Structure formats: C-alpha cells, structure tokens
Amino acid sequence: MNINEIISSGLLESYVLGTATTEENALINQLCKKHPELVREIELIEEGLINFSGKADSPLNPELKSMIQEQLSFTEAKPAMAEARVVELHAPVESRLNLYKFGIAASIVMFIVSFIYNIMLQKELSKVNGELAELGATKSYMADELKIQQASFKNMNDRFGVVSNPKTKTVALNGMNYLAKSSAAVHWNTETDEVYFNAAALPGSPANKQYQLWAIVEGKPVDMGMIDMGSSTAVFQKMKAVKGAQAFAVTIEDVGGSAAPTLETMCLLGNV
Amino acid sequence: MGQKQTYTQDELIVLIREKDQKAFSYLYDNYSQALFGVINAIVNDTEESEDVLQKAFLKIWNSFSSYDTEKGRLYTWMLNISRNMAIDSTRSKHEKIKSKIQSTDENVYKYENSLSVDDASHDLIGLKTILNNLKEEHRQIIDLVYFEGYTQDEISKKLGMPLGTVKTKVRQAILTLRELTKKEFLQ
C-alpha cells in the first residue's frame, strides 16, 4: 500500500473524525508504527480540527476549569493522598514506628520484670544484687536504644513533613548513563525554596568522584551542592535553596564538586 | 526547558491513567475550547454548553479506563463523548418539537438531534462564519460528519455519492479548514 495514496484517500481524516471501521483503525495503528509521516499527517488533521473548533467562540469562563477540577480526584502530594506519592518513605516510617513502639514496650516490660525480681528475691540478697545489676544494665541499653529510635522517628517524621507539605513540588528524576537503572526525586518547597534530594537506593559514585546536584534556572545550571552518600544507599539530604528551578539534574564530578556541570556524566534528570 | 510543558499523546495518556493533576490541567487547557466549540455548535446556548462541557470532562476523566488507543485518537474519543452529551442535551429539550417533523425513514433518527428542520441551515452561531467559507458541498459534509455524527457510509447513501468520493471530499474540506484556521491564528 502506497503511503501517499492512503493520505490522499482521506482515510486519515476518517480516523481522526472517528468514522473509520475497526479494521481501518487497526490498519492505521499498524502503519503508524512504521511510517512517522502518517502520524504527522494525523497530528496535523487533528490540530486543524481543534483549531477550527475552538476558533469561533470567545474564550471560556476561567472559573469553569476550577469548577471541574474540584469535582475530580487526583493522585497528588495532598496530605490525605500522601500514600500514593510517598511510597519510598512509607515502609521505612512504618518500620521505624514499629521499632519505636517495640522500644517503649520492651523497656516497660524490662522495668516491670526488674521490679518483680526486686520483691521476689529480697531473701537472697547476693543473688538479687547480682541480677539487679544485670537488669539495670539491660534497662540502660534499652533506654539508649529508645533514644536512637526516637531520633530516627523524628527524622522520618520531618521527612514525611517535607514530602507531604502541599507547597512541596516533588520532581521525579530519571536515571541515565551511570545510573540508568536508578531513579531519585527532588522535593522542592516553592514557599521556602528549600530543596531535598531523595534516593531510596543510589549506587555509590565511582572512585574519587561525587554526585553533584544542579538546578536549571533560566536555562543555566546552578550548583545545589554535593550529595553525601553516608553509610547507606538511601539518601535524604537537604541541599542548597533555589528559586525558579525549571529542572534538576545530577552529574558525576571530582570530589568537592565543579563550578560547571560535566554534562556527559549526567546521570539523573527531571523537569519541574 | 521552557515554561510550557508539552506531552505526546502517549505521555498524556499515562499521566491521565495515574490521575495526575498536571495531566488534567494540560487536557483542559488544550482541548476545552475545541470541545466547547463542538458542543455549543449543537446546543447553541452558552450556559447549557458550559454545563455539558463540565459533564463531558467528568466523564472523560472518570471513565478513562474505557479509552483504548487501539480504537483511535484521544481527541476523537473525547469528541464523541462531548458530541453525544450535547446531542442528548438538545434531544430532551426538543423532543416535543421534533415529533412534528416529517417521519421518512432514517431522517427521523438524524433530525431528532438538530435544531432546525432544514439540514442545510444547521444553526451554528459560533462556527458558522468559518464553515461558510467552504464550498456548499464541503460545508454540508463537514456538518453531517462532525456535528451530527453521521458515518461516511450514511452520508454516501444520503447524498447518493460513492463512499470513496465522500472520503476525499471530507479530506478536501478539512484541508481548507486547516488553511483557514492557520491564517486566522497567525493574524
């Protein structure tokens, strides 16, 4: 079948108008995969129809859009719907909460146990003394552990606060090159300009190199700081603040960073 | 990295399926004016057309799972929903009036939906001026296929024209409209 014949037959107009048969639709879908010029013609036909249809009437009442929007439900970073967006943090928060509860429960249990032992073993002082000393040490250990879990919980809670804040824009970063299999996100509070880099599982940077975050502002890259890998592959780090970011990207630079990004090493990129 | 985000049809479809608010915003910004144009051409009442447009967008968003790319373009699907709702809206208003119209075979089904008896003077306040720029035969065919939802097979029978000719005339009409609206746009 000659592509030009198909175009001049008006079959594509039928397709866009919705009057083509099921077989014709299937044929066109198939041909479009191999012939981009068909896709282009379809887009032009559609564009023409849309321009024509929208030409005559005066612009729509702007309130109409918000009226419609209010009646629809979306997947967004609203507090009530935070679960859908905050997938990466959800599990850690939950497990930290469980450890926190466990920490409290365990220390309460330990306290009760040592109290009971105290009464029961009053007759055998030396034995009780020995055991009390042992229990005391364990209780101290649990108290330390509780403090650690509390700090961790506060940390997770703060992160949750960052991400679920309605003023925060979450920008997904797609991986490429060195990080082709990875993904990450940037949480940008457009009110306070704060920026947080968030990656659940980031591979270590190559030897003697560091990841550097950039924001694209007015088409130019602005340094947002070096990403501190720490001891684990998960990163949630407050970076420099920025206004007017259009996109965020990560490149691989020498340790300490670079004044300008080495674009060939770009490994994460996302548009705001 | 410009201010305005553009999506390909495929990207947009993915985002709509995810119920992304950006996608709704994009959909509305790019298509509402056109869909309103079609609706208002049929309903001919701004307030009622705004109402139909709202219902159409609700249906588009909430029943998006029933859109299948195998069936055709996204705009085509939205156009169908909007047009059918517009037709339904006028049908309930004009049922009484229509019962008096001549009841010869297929004409009843078709003209039940139009606002006038004579199919040549379909009352298009908004888009009329543009359509009047077309040759009469082109204007009539576009009216039937775009606003009344006739299939080209039905038009072929109605106008006594071979199907292939109907298709090429539709193409010619749309090519003219593309030129016309391009020029106006640049003005």
> Residue A24 corresponds to which tokens in the numbers above?
């014709």
> Across the interface, do A20 and B126 touch by the CB < 8 Å criterion?
no
pLDDT at B110: 52
Give B116's pLDDT tier (boundaries 50, 70, 90): very low
Assigned token pair, A247: 């996109």
What would the two tokens of residue A40 be?
């282009």
Give the model's pLDDT for residue B121.
38
Nearest to residue B49, comparing CAs of B129, B164, B126? B126
Task: Give the pLDDT confidence score for residue A87 in this predicted structure.
Answer: 47
Tell me how far the alpha carbon of residue B9 is from its chain's centroid. 19
* Residue in chain B nearest A27 by alpha carbon: B70
Asked if B26 and B12 count as a contact pair (C-beta separation under 8 A), the reply is yes
Distance from C-alpha of B166 to C-alpha of A187, rounded to nearest angstrom: 55
Q: Nearest-CA distance from B100 to chain A in Å?
A: 30
Q: What is the CA radius of gyration of chain B?
A: 18
In the numeric block, which tokens belong to residue B152?
């080209």
State the greatest distance between any 2 C-alpha atoms of chain B, in Å, as a whole number: 60
What's residue A134's pLDDT?
Answer: 75
The residue of chain A nearest to residue B34, with distances taken between CA atoms, is A54
Phi, psi of B38 (to 5 degrees): -65, -45
**Which pLDDT value is given to residue A96?**
64
Task: Find, in chain A, the residue whose alpha carbon is nearest to that of B145.
Answer: A17
Residues B87-98: pLDDT tens digits? 999 887 666 455
Q: Can you give the pLDDT at residue B95? A: 61
pLDDT of residue A1: 64
Q: Which residue has the tokens 């949630």?
A: A236
Chain A, chain B: beta-carbon pairs less than 8 Å apart: 157
The 3-state secondary structure of chain A reads: CCHHHHHHHCHHHHHHHCCCCHHHHHHHHHHHHHCHHHHHHHHHHHHHHHHHHHHCCCCCCCHHHHHHHHCCCCECCCHHHHHHHCHHHHHHHHHHHHHHHHHHHHHHHHHHHHHHHHHHCCCCHHHHHHHHHHHHHHHHHHHHHHHHHHHHHHHHHHHHHHHHCCCEEEEEEEECHHHCCCEEEEEEECCCCCEEEEECCCCCCCCCEEEEEEEEECCEEEEEEECCCCCCCCEEEECCCCCCEEEEEEEEEECCCCCCCCHHHCCEEEEC
CA distance between the termini of chain B: 28
The pLDDT of residue B182 is 73
- What is the b/e burial string over A196-215, where b = at least 16 CB atoms within 10 angstroms of the residue's CB? bbbbbebeebeeebbbbbbb
Percent of chain B at pLDDT > 70 equals: 76
pLDDT at B42 over 80: yes
Position A152 scores a pLDDT of 80
Whether B74 has its CB under 8 Å from any CB of chain A: the answer is no
Q: Dihedral (C-alpha) B80, B83, B87, B89: value to the nearest 10 degrees?
A: 110
Q: What is the pLDDT of residue B44?
A: 86
Q: Which pair of tokens denotes residue A216?
A: 């694209």
Q: Which residues of A touch B21 (CB under 8 A)?
A: 69, 74-76
Average pLDDT over residues B45-56: 93
Quickly state the pLDDT bin for B103 (edges 50, 70, 90): very low
**Chain B residues 165-184 with CB within 8 Å of chain A:** 167-171, 174-175, 177-178, 180-182, 184
Q: Give yes or no for residue B114 having a pLDDT over 80.
A: no
Q: How far is CA B49 from the centre of its chain?
A: 13
Does this model's pTM top 0.90? no
Question: What integer pLDDT is reported at residue B97 of this predicted model?
Answer: 56
User: How near does any CA of chain A get to the CA of B142, in Å?
Assistant: 10
All residue ranges of chain A with pLDDT < 70 are 1, 76-97, 123, 126, 128
What are the tens digits of pLDDT across the range B136-183? 889 999 989 988 888 888 999 999 999 999 999 999 999 988 888 775
Please identify among residues 90-119 of chain B the ones whose CB lies closer than 8 Å to any CB of chain A.
none
Q: Kindly give, in sequence order, each residue whose CB lies less than 8 Å from that of residue A199, ignoring residues fewer than 6 positions away.
A: A182, A183, A184, A185, A233, A234, A235
pLDDT attached to residue A254 = 92
Residue that is written with structure tokens 């055709």 in the block:
B72
